[in-house]
Amino acid sequence: MSIGHTLLGLLESGPRHGYDLKRTFDTHFGQDRPLHYGQVYSTMSRLLKNGLVEVEGIEPGGGPERKRYAITDAGVTDVEGWLATPEKPEPYLQSLLYTKVVLALLTGRDADTLLDTQRSEHLRLMRELTRRKSGGDLADQLVCDHALFHLEADLRWLELAAARLDRLASEIRA
């Protein structure tokens, strides 16, 4: 996720302080990985330096002064370009899981157990996401569905790898 573009997008609805940006980000995108305040302020500093935001005002607070950031026209253009650019599909052609299976086979370890253990972990996480999805709002349901679909594809691969394990072992040991 591009933190900078996300914060810029949040500023399109109006100027905000760093604290407000963090709170809004965490509400919509940070349930599993909330932003740290330092990350918000370092990102805002970079956006300011690049001319994508400006400081609209500085207000005294209970602690340090609070800067109120506003998006510039260049920032709006940057967000528009980012949103219009499709993300590169990640085909995972050389996954860590595949590497572990091959290394297990090469070193004489039990690749079947490795696959079974991984399958159990995927199923555990799928149950957790399904519970979370049932109690979540629409945004959380969509996030969980995305993760569940990826885990489902991984499970299909685990089954396929298990079915082809003997053949793979003979090919890599040849």
In a domain, 167, yes or no: yes
Task: State residue 94's pLDDT score.
Answer: 62
Global pTM? 0.70
Q: Per-residue pLDDT averaged across 161-168, rounded?
A: 95
Q: What mean pLDDT is predicted for residues 1-5?
A: 86
56, 84, 112: which is the final residue of a domain? 84
For residue 60, the 8-state DSSP code is -
Of 29, 53, 84, the position where a domain reaches its end is 84
What's phi and psi for 71, nearest 5 deg?
-80, 145
- Which CATH number covers residue 36? 1.10.10.10
Residue type, position 110, single letter: D
- Tell me: do 102 and 74 sit in the same domain: no
pLDDT digits 0-9 by tens, 22-77: 999 998 888 778 899 999 999 999 999 999 999 998 887 666 778 999 999 999 99
Q: Which residues pair with 87 in a beta bridge?
A: none
pLDDT reported for residue 133: 94
Q: Burial level of 26, CB count in 10 A (0-12/13-18/19+)?
A: middle
pLDDT digits 0-9 by tens, 95-148: 888 889 999 998 888 999 999 999 999 999 999 999 999 998 998 899 999 999
Domain count, the chain: 2
Instruction: Please determine, for residue 84, whether its predicted confidence score (pLDDT) is greater than 70.
Output: yes
**Residues spanned by the domain of 42:** 3-84
Q: Which among 36, 64, 84 is the end of a domain?
A: 84
Q: pLDDT at residue 169 above 70?
A: yes
Whether residue 93 is predicted with pLDDT greater than 70 in this model: the reply is: no
Domain check: are 20 and 77 in the same one? yes
